[in-house]
Structure 1
Amino acid sequence: MVFREDVMIRYLYPYRYQASLAVFLMIAEVLVDLYQPRMMASIVDEGILGAGRGGVPDPEFVLRTGLAMALVVLLGGGCGIAGGICVNFCAQHFGNDVRKACFRRILSFSMEQVDFFHTGGLITRMTSDTAQVQTMVSTALRGVVRSLTFLCVGTAALLTLDIHFSLVTMLAIPVILLEVSVIVWKSNPLFRLWQQKIDGLNQIMQEDIRGARVIKGYHQEKRENLRFGVANEDLADTQLRVLMIISCMLPLANIVMNAAIAAVIYVGALDAASGRIMPGTIMAALTYIVQILNGLLMFAMILQLFARGLTSKRRLQEILDQGNDVDGDGCALPAGRNNAAYAVELRHVFFHYPGQQEDVLSDISLSVRPGEMLAVVGATGAGKSTLIRLLLRFYPATSGSIRVFDTDIRDYSVHELRRKITVVLQRTDLFSLTIRDNIVWGCDDFSERSVREAARIAQAEAFILRQPEGYDTMVSEGGMSLSGGQRQRLAIARAIVRRPDILVFDDSTSALDMRTEAALFRDLDGYAQRRQAEGHPLTRIVVAQRIATARHAERIAVLDHGRLIGCGTHEELLTDCPLYQEICASQSQTEEAVIPHG
């Protein structure tokens, strides 16, 4: 399902009253600005030149009109300030809402959608593109209203002074509009390219910051500097092309505007010489034409901002229009799940990654009973982790079905499915929170006792208590203050504290020494037995590279190039599965000596 959410309409609608007030105040400010030349003309013609008084100046008239003009300026300034407040209120809240909506949608993305947009591109859209659209909204509420009001009302005011002045303006406006149209037409296609170049630059920055230790370890700073430099040069070249085009706009418009001012002075001088108008009227006309053409120039600059803003709007719209490819309508968990025949069942599952033709998984049929422990082994690239991703609906199966407690996973809501299935991934992600907060992250129902129990089962409590503040010790960004094994144990504790019905380890004990791993599985077995006694059996699926890890399971599934070629106990596979025999033979005898058989 695709959610249509128009950025401009949907997210401005809650602030429509403030936006309407901003428009009204902007118009009022411009009208006040356009009234001032009239007052100035009166001061010059009547107060200073004494028109209607035989050429005798009228100081009192100058004082009265000057005071009135000061009050009008104050009124206009007040409208401008209030209008600016309303504009900023709308723009900031609009940007805030759009950013939050995009972030919510990104968090609901399937892995396929994340792969399509790339992390760097998503960051650019959340930051740069949102800022561009926010600027466009602010400009629309303030700049467009002001410039169009100057253009329309100013032209009407100019008409009331002298038709010749309006003719000059009518000749200047099309020339400026033609210049602006050509410049916008030339620069518009480059704005999307500009944002794409920022995407690429952000992607490199993210990769290099995340992989800083690898870069230093391989002494590849120079290589990455060069790669960043190429991307940065591409961005700079694109920006330069855009800015060179745009830089032509102001000088060309100024040429036309100054020519128009010279024409007004010339026409005004002829009319004044013939006695048709007074010098004050010429001053007012000059002010009006400057205001009109400045308004037009402002509108030209706004069009350039709009061209970039609309490009960013389309990029944000692409995020907001994305549905969740793997999310279903959802259902409640079947009440009789403990009596289900299978906790997990795969029926003729095929899968290939988007954009690829070759199947990563081919005709996988496999079942796991409630409370059972199943290990999945195979060579690198056999499809083990892919199998887990399908179970969690990170990707939809190309064909076949996956059932959890006798219900197809597509009939569960993602929230319900992942509440019942908890995975510990090989790559451990921790957050800049305390150790306790990292353990209970994602768990709403927990107690201190359950936190400590999860830490003990995960073999984490001993090193936690050695930390300066125990469970309240802060973890550095990405967990870099902890070793790989410590991070994995915290991730395992985080999974256990959720009390899932199905616990999945995706090669998540690879950083543990064999003695610690043996203690972990021993305590996990005890925990599973307690869950069984409570009537809530814990089903475990363990993706393992080491046979010593897999032998903890009641059954072992063997994958080879995406196909299930064997499933049984360790002893059965040693007899019937040649690939399993090869894997066992390749494992060191030391590992088997540390972990007892059975």
Structure 2
Amino acid sequence: MKYIWQYVKEFKGLLLLSLLGTLGFVVVTLGMPTLLAQLIDDVILGDVNRSVWPYFIIMVILASIGLVGRLITSYSSSKIVANMTMNMRNDAYEKMQDLSHHEFQELGVPSLTTRISSDAFILLQFTDMIIRQGFTAPMMIIVSVIMIITTSIELGVTILPLAPLIVVVVLLIARITLPISERQQKNLDRINRVLRESITGLRVIRAFNREDFQANRFAHANDNYRQESTSLFRWMAVTPALFSVVINLAIIAIIWFGAGFIERQTMQVGTVVAFIEYVFHALFSLMLFANIFMMYPRAQVSAGRLQEVLDTKISINEKPADQQIHDFPESGSLEFRDVDFAYPDADKPVLRNINFKTKAGETVAFIGSTGSGKSTIVKLIPRFYDVSKGQILVDGVDVRDYNLKELRSKIGYTPQKALLFTGDISDNLRFGKFDADEQDMEHATIISQAQEFISRLENHYQTHLAEGGSNLSGGQKQRLSIARSIIGGREIYIFDDSFSALDYKTDAAVRSALQEETKNATTVIVAQRVGTIMHADQIIVLDEGEIAAVGTHKELLATSPLYHEIAASQLSEEELNR
């Protein structure tokens, strides 16, 4: 398998060491029956006065060599598969970091989780099996067949028809189990999806008393996985049972025909005993080799799923380094020129003919009804998506001409959903500035009004946050998210409906503090509340993906019926006429 080999080939030295260890083990394993045959024929049934000590010493030496060989193989295999799996997961994770939101939607987050965890583990098991058994079994089969032919061709012919029968059955079962393995992994994806939705949506499920419904969804997905697994393991169980029967039949045949050879004095007892050992090792090794073929369909499916992640074409591509622009004619400016945007799987654009320009020190705000495209606009600036038509210029340069890291380092982005990571408050703030000290954190949290609740916490910035910041309120999470985006000092600040969980008093305090902090930067605000944006230099009113009006708060109240309608629904008559 090409996918596995591209990782395993990095450890050629360990592979060679494993091969040598396997060779030593095979020679010792098949050397024992030969020595045993000589002991039976020459001492036990021959010269009883002959000492057994030489045989005993040689057997101990052989056993020690075999043990060392086995340990070398186990050590090499363990090190190879552990490092291989780590590299597989790292590569898949690094590729995931480059995927756009569209690719994530296509592959599915639960499926990506399964691929990096479950599929990588299946490949670990398969590769370990290949190195431990895939090296040993062929050598053992070849050497065993040579010993069988050398010992007695006549007796070997009696078991010859069994080998092709086993091979045919194994190949047939492998072909049957391949589609079952594919369905099994897809069902595991479904289990992860339902489980993820059940955990993240637990409050909603309880609020609507839908525990039974969700439990049935999970049970249905789990039952489908059980059915496919049962079918797969049932077929896989056929091979060991078949081999047990074949090995027993082979031993019976050898004893039956061997007894006749002994009776005619054409073969000695020790030779028959050794022959049984050779046949047992040959057939047992064939069974081990068959296990690899049984495991192969599952590994093939898992390798294909991981390779699919690596082969996924990235829609957000960077220009080659020598074509990227690093000199900027302006600082902190932002401009949209005739921008249209349609999601990759959409039938029509969600944004049409978007044009505006703002410079450092100015604030531009977007308001409009739900689904008008407000959040979509700000996601285009850091290139979470690429425009379908037109240009977005940051500092006078098309965002597609930037190095992505350089572009995003200019932007402080506060998402619509305040997402915090497991760890301390300080860990989350350092996402905005990796080397931030306590003074930096204090400055940012004072501006975002987060200092007020952090100072009441026992461990302050070292307070541990649960997954997703679930031990904080929505407003506290939002304030920390704002602090994280401003702590590094940026040229452009984007607040995507980032004040929605704040009360009016805190909202006003945050915006007042931000004015001084962002006076030399461009500030982009998406909001539902007119009170949040009424002091912006430009307010852009969106309606069904198009700009319906542009102006200041007072200008729009006088000229835009849509803006006036929105403002009238939120502000008092006195505030409207102020």
TM-score range, shorter chain: over 0.9
CA distance in 2, matches of 1:6, 1:547: 58
Instruction: Note the 1:76-475 alignment, pairs <5 A.
Output: 76-329=66-319, 331=324, 333-338=326-331, 343-475=333-465
- Asked whether the 8 Å contact 1:164–1:267 carries over to 2, the reply is no
TM-score by length of 1: 0.93
Residue 360 of structure 1: CA displacement?
1.2
Residue 445 of structure 1: CA displacement?
4.1
Q: Describe the SS at the equivalent of 2:501.
A: coil
2:38 partner letter = S
Q: C-alpha deviations, 1:508-545, integer Å up to 9, x for none? A: 1000001111111111112223xxxxxxx210000011
1:80 partner letter = R
- Asked whether the 8 Å contact 1:30–1:150 carries over to 2, the reply is yes
CA distance in 2, matches of 1:596, 1:263: 106
Partner of 1:555: 538
Q: Is the deviation greater in 371-380 or in 473-482?
A: 473-482
Correspondence 1:57 to 2:53: no
Shift in CA distance, 298/6, structure 1 to aligned 2, threshold 3 Å: closer
- Asked whether the 8 Å contact 2:367–2:528 carries over to 1, the reply is yes
- Asked whether the 8 Å contact 1:332–1:416 carries over to 2, the reply is no
- Asked whether the 8 Å contact 1:500–1:538 carries over to 2, the reply is yes
- Asked whether the 8 Å contact 1:327–1:413 carries over to 2, the reply is no
Partner of 2:554: 571
| Percent of matched pairs sharing the same residue | 31
- Asked whether the 8 Å contact 2:17–2:72 carries over to 1, the reply is no
Residue 575 of structure 1: CA displacement?
2.5
Q: Describe the SS at the equivalent of 1:380.
A: coil
CA distance in 1, matches of 2:259, 2:170: 31
Q: Describe the SS at the equivalent of 1:558.
A: strand
Residue 367 of structure 1: CA displacement?
2.0
Equivalent in 30, 36, 41 of residue 34 of structure 1: 30
CA distance in 2, matches of 1:280, 1:376: 92
Q: Describe the SS at the equivalent of 2:464.
A: coil
CA distance in 2, matches of 1:20, 1:217: 61
Q: Is the deviation greater in 421-430 or in 264-273?
A: 264-273
CA distance in 2, matches of 1:370, 1:431: 31
CA distance in 2, matches of 1:135, 1:560: 55
Q: C-alpha deviations, 1:64-113, integer Å up to 9, x for none? A: 11221122112101110121111101111111111122112212211111
Partner of 1:17: 13
Q: Is the deviation greater in 225-234 or in 99-108?
A: 99-108
CA distance in 2, matches of 1:571, 1:185: 73
Q: Is the deviation greater in 486-495 or in 303-312?
A: 303-312
CA distance in 2, matches of 1:596, 1:512: 25
CA distance in 1, matches of 2:159, 2:127: 29
1:370 partner letter = A
CA distance in 2, matches of 1:116, 1:6: 25
CA distance in 2, matches of 1:425, 1:335: 26
Instruction: Note the 1:506-585 alignment, pairs <5 A.
Output: 506-529=496-519, 537-585=520-568
Instruction: Note the 1:470-489 alignment, pairs <5 A.
Output: 470-489=460-479
Q: Describe the SS at the equivalent of 1:192.
A: helix
Q: Describe the SS at the equivalent of 2:347.
A: coil
Q: Which runs of 5+ in 2 are unaligned?
A: none
Residue 414 of structure 1: CA displacement?
1.5
Q: Describe the SS at the equivalent of 1:423.
A: strand
CA distance in 2, matches of 1:567, 1:418: 27
CA distance in 1, matches of 2:49, 2:147: 26
Residue 275 of structure 1: CA displacement?
1.9
Q: C-alpha deviations, 1:430-481, integer Å up to 9, x for none? A: 1222222221224134333222111111111111101112222222221111
Q: Is the deviation greater in 171-180 or in 215-224?
A: 215-224
CA distance in 2, matches of 1:169, 1:423: 73
- Asked whether the 8 Å contact 2:158–2:253 carries over to 1, the reply is yes
- Asked whether the 8 Å contact 1:23–1:142 carries over to 2, the reply is no
- Asked whether the 8 Å contact 2:328–2:397 carries over to 1, the reply is no
CA distance in 1, matches of 2:232, 2:432: 46
- Asked whether the 8 Å contact 2:325–2:401 carries over to 1, the reply is no
- Asked whether the 8 Å contact 1:48–1:58 carries over to 2, the reply is no
Q: Which runs of 5+ in 1 are unaligned?
A: 51-55, 530-536
Partner of 1:53: none
- Asked whether the 8 Å contact 2:432–2:485 carries over to 1, the reply is no
2:359 partner letter = R
CA distance in 1, matches of 2:44, 2:241: 37
CA distance in 1, matches of 2:558, 2:270: 109
Residue 323 of structure 1: CA displacement?
4.4
Residue 230 of structure 1: CA displacement?
0.8
- Asked whether the 8 Å contact 1:21–1:86 carries over to 2, the reply is yes
- Asked whether the 8 Å contact 1:385–1:506 carries over to 2, the reply is yes
TM-score by length of 2: 0.96
What is the RMSD of the two structures over their aligned residues, measured on CA atoms?
A: 1.9
Q: Describe the SS at the equivalent of 2:423.
A: coil
CA distance in 1, matches of 2:572, 2:206: 35
CA distance in 2, matches of 1:300, 1:316: 25
Partner of 1:46: 42
Q: Is the deviation greater in 324-333 or in 397-406?
A: 324-333
CA distance in 2, matches of 1:415, 1:169: 67
CA distance in 1, matches of 2:559, 2:233: 70
CA distance in 1, matches of 2:328, 2:468: 39
Shift in CA distance, 389/44, structure 1 to aligned 2, threshold 3 Å: same
Q: C-alpha deviations, 1:280-338, integer Å up to 9, x for none? A: 11111111111110100111111111221121111111112234321313535434332
Q: Is the deviation greater in 418-427 or in 251-260?
A: 251-260
CA distance in 2, matches of 1:27, 1:346: 68
Count of residues in correspondence between the two structures: 575
- Asked whether the 8 Å contact 1:375–1:542 carries over to 2, the reply is yes
CA distance in 2, matches of 1:76, 1:447: 59
Shift in CA distance, 300/81, structure 1 to aligned 2, threshold 3 Å: same
Q: Is the deviation greater in 298-307 or in 443-452?
A: 443-452
- Asked whether the 8 Å contact 1:38–1:284 carries over to 2, the reply is yes
Partner of 1:503: 493
2:173 partner letter = I
CA distance in 2, matches of 1:108, 1:512: 33
1:334 partner letter = D
